[in-house]
């Protein structure tokens, strides 16, 4: 597999080898030793699968005291996936990495614990799968406003479909003031 480092510490784009022929393809989406060699050594305790329609934007989410690392990929369709550094002690706080994940490129994004994460759907339907390093705790969930002008994410959609909760997330400034 090919591993691409990003401007955010620990955030990696992973391009697994895809073996294809006239019958279809085969791709290894996770192998413990191989991923450990590139720095992804936390145990995964939960796998999630979501399906969303074109224009849906989910995020930007994180857990406050029990942060989750996430290894994310798309098995059907296409998304624009984003990780944001929200650590006030980090020199890259407020910066983000965005990458298209789709069923053709088979890319994965490793989002270490402590980052805010979200994605928007670019295809008619997208199946989004992710492995998590900690369990989901609803009472621990935090969010960052998807269109915070300080972070200035260049989302490829202008009018996303958002949950009521995601419309109310705080800005980075408000989030850091709470800390």
Q: How many CB atoms lie within 10 A of CB 25?
A: 10
Query: What are the residue numbers of the active site?
Result: 61, 130
User: Residue 26 contacts by C-beta under 8 Å, 6 or more apart in sequence?
Assistant: 18, 19, 20
Distance in angstroms (rounded) separating the CA atoms of residues 29 and 155? 26
Report residue 158 as tokens: 């202008």
Sole residue written with tokens 């073996």: 19
Calpha distance 100→61 (Å, rounded): 18
The number of beta carbons lying within 10 Å of the beta carbon of residue 153 is: 22
């Amino acid at each position: 597999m090919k591993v691409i480092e990003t401007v955010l510490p620990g955030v990696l784009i992973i391009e697994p080898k895809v073996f294809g022929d006239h019958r279809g393809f085969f791709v290894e989406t996770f192998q413990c030793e191989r991923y450990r060699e590139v720095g992804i050594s936390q145990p995964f305790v939960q796998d999630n699968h979501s399906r969303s329609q074109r224009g849906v934007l989910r995020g930007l989410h994180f857990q406050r005291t029990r942060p989750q690392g996430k290894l994310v990929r798309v098995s059907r369709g296409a998304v624009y996936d984003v990780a944001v550094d929200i650590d006030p002690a980090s020199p890259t706080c407020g910066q983000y990495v965005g990458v298209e994940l789709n069923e053709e490129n088979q890319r994965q994004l490793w989002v270490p614990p402590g980052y805010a994460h979200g994605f928007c759907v670019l295809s008619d339907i997208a199946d989004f799968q992710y492995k998590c390093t900690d369990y989901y705790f609803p009472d621990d969930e935090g969010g960052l406003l998807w269109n915070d002008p300080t972070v200035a994410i260049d989302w490829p959609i202008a009018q996303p479909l958002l949950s009521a909760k995601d419309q109310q997330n705080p800005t980075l400034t408000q989030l850091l003031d709470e800390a």
